[in-house]
């Protein structure tokens, strides 16, 4: 994993003149793993810094919404209905007279929870399917690839609507809670992770260090978890980061269609869905949650791109 000798050569050759700034970082590095290398790249990447700061702020909002607003998001007053942004309500009021800023802040939590949990579950399921299929090959791979292809054949959004439509609350109304949305999006969305993982594992499996471990008598599980998994997980992490943004967008789409999280629960999708009917009398209840949604999705895509660039050896 670590090529120590290669870098010391350049350090010796480096004349240390002020006119040669390019090979300067090679000066003090002796042993650097791929991860350390990638981290150094990331810290110098503007996209990474911006997206990391954005994600930090969004997660803080999701965890402690009370820090950002003291207004109760469900304390609505009809006399403020559709009032535009002002000093007291930065994002204005919606049709019901609720404070849009406060709702946007409190809506962050549900959107982020759906994104994080769905991605985590898909990572585990997809990762497992991919590792097993890629590592064992033969009929295991054939079976798992078949299952993956079957799920891929279904239109994603449609399958999600069909599943979510079956969730009812105790009054028999269509109402899916946050967990129902998480599970549904996991069921319809784990496949791309499985494919990425399978590809990576099949590549790593051929490596000499796996053959070495095998000839030293390492058990299958040891080879899989100590050697193959750590070396093939990077592409999976990249896909997961990018798809986290996509999942948050998918949650909003389901809420927009009136089938995901329902009011009185707040999420950006619910807010946008409520605002769309009144779009001609005022855009602000639509624009602010859409803006937050866009920024969040953008932040995760940028983060994923930055991580991929840092870990992709082809671009060095």
Partner 1 sequence: MGRYVIRRLLQMIPVFFGATLLIFLMVNVMGDPIAGLCGDRQCDPATAAQLEKEFGLDKPVWQQYLTYMGNVFTGDFGTAFNGQEVTELMANAFPVTIRLTIVAIFFEIVIGISLGVLTGLKRGRPVDTSVLLLTLVVISVPTFVTGLLLQLLLGVKWGWIKPAVSSEATFDELIVPGLVLASVSLAYVTRLTRTSIAENKRADYVRTAVAKGLPRHRVITRHLLRNSLIPVVTFIGTDIGALMGGAIVTERIFNIHGVGYQLYQGILRQNTQTVVGFVTVLVLVFLVANLLVDLLYAVLDPRIRYA
Nearest approach, Cβ of residue 163 and partner 1 (Å) = 6
Task: Report d(CA 186, CA 21) in Å as an integer.
Answer: 48
Residue entry with tokens 């590095």: 29
Residue 158, judged by CB atoms within 10 A of its CB (0-12, 13-18, 19+), counts as: exposed
Query: Under the criterion CB under 8 A, does residue 25 sit at the interface with partner 1?
Result: no
Looking at residue 313, the DSSP 8-state letter turns out to be: G
Which residue in the set 74, 140, 151, 214 belongs to the binding site for partner 1 (CB under 8 A)?
A: 151
Nearer to partner 1 among residue 58 and residue 163 (C-beta): 163
Looking only at residues 170 through 209 of this chain, which bind partner 1 when binding is defined by CB under 8 A?
172
- The C-alpha atoms of residue 164 and residue 158 are separated, in whole angstroms, by 10
When the beta carbons of 125 and 218 are compared against partner 1, the nearer one is 125
68 binds partner 1, rule: CB under 8 A: no
> In this chain, which of 80, 257, 262, 265 binds partner 1, going by CB under 8 A?
257
Residue from 201, 301, 306, 310 binding partner 1 (CB under 8 A)? 301
Binding partner 1 (rule: CB under 8 A), the pick from 2, 165, 219, 281 is 165
Position among 249, 260, 285, 304 found at the interface with partner 1 (CB under 8 A)? 249
Which residues between 87 and 146 bind partner 1 (CB under 8 A)? Answer: 146
Query: Contact at 8 Å (CB) between 45 and 306?
Result: yes
- By C-beta, is 113 or 191 nearer to partner 1? 191
What six digits make up the tokens of 216?
A: 């030293």
Q: Which of 113, 129, 270, 293 binds partner 1 (CB under 8 A)?
A: 293
**Hey, what are 262's tokens?**
């329902």
The two tokens of residue 9 are: 């050569």
Count of positions (residues) in the chain: 316
Q: Give the C-alpha separation, 110 to 116, whole Å.
A: 10
Is 285 an interacting residue with respect to partner 1 (CB under 8 A)?
A: no
Rg of the chain in Å (alpha carbons):
24
Q: Is 166 among the residues that bind partner 1 (CB under 8 A)?
A: yes
Query: Does residue 243 contact residue 192 with C-beta atoms inside 8 Å?
Result: yes
Helices (H), 206-233: 208-215, 220-222, 229-232
Return the range that interacts with partner 1 (CB under 8 A); candidates 38-46, 86-94, 119-127, 286-294. Answer: 286-294
Site for partner 1 contains 302 (CB under 8 A): yes
The helix/strand/coil state of 99 is: strand
Residues at the contact surface with partner 1, assessed by CB under 8 A: 146-147, 149-151, 153-159, 161-163, 165-166, 172, 245, 249, 252-253, 256-257, 272, 276, 279-280, 283, 286, 290, 293-295, 297-298, 301-302
């Amino acid at each position: 994993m670590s090529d120590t000798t290669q870098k010391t050569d350049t350090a010796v050759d480096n004349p240390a003149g002020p006119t040669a700034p390019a090979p300067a970082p090679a000066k003090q590095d002796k042993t650097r793993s791929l991860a350390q290398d990638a981290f150094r790249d990331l810290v110098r990447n503007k996209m990474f810094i911006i997206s990391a700061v954005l994600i930090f702020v969004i997660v803080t909002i999701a965890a402690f919404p009370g820090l950002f607003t003291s207004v109760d998001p469900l304390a609505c007053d009809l006399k403020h209905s559709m009032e535009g942004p002002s000093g007291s309500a930065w994002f204005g009021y919606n049709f019901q007279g609720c404070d849009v800023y406060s709702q946007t802040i409190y809506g962050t939590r549900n959107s982020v929870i759906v994104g994080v949990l769905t991605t985590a579950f898909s990572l585990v399921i997809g990762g497992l399917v991919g590792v097993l299929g890629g590592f064992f090959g033969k009929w295991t791979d054939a079976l798992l690839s078949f299952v993956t292809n079957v799920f891929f054949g279904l239109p994603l959004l449609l399958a999600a609507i069909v599943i979510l439509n079956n969730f009812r609350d105790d009054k028999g109304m269509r109402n899916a809670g946050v967990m129902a949305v998480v599970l549904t999006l996991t069921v319809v969305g784990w496949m791309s992770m499985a494919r990425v993982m399978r590809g990576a594992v099949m590549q790593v499996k051929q490596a000499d260090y796996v053959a070495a471990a095998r000839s030293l008598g390492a058990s299958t599980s040891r080879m899989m978890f100590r050697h193959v998994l750590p070396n093939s997980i990077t592409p999976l992490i990249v896909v997961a980061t990018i798809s986290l943004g996509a999942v948050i967008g998918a949650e909003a789409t389901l809420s927009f269609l009136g089938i995901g999280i329902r009011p009185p629960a707040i999420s950006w999708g619910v807010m946008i869905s409520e605002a769309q009917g009144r779009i001609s009398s005022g855009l602000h209840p639509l624009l602010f949650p859409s803006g937050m949604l866009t920024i969040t999705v953008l932040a995760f895509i940028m983060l994923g791109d930055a991580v991929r660039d840092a870990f992709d050896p082809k671009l060095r």
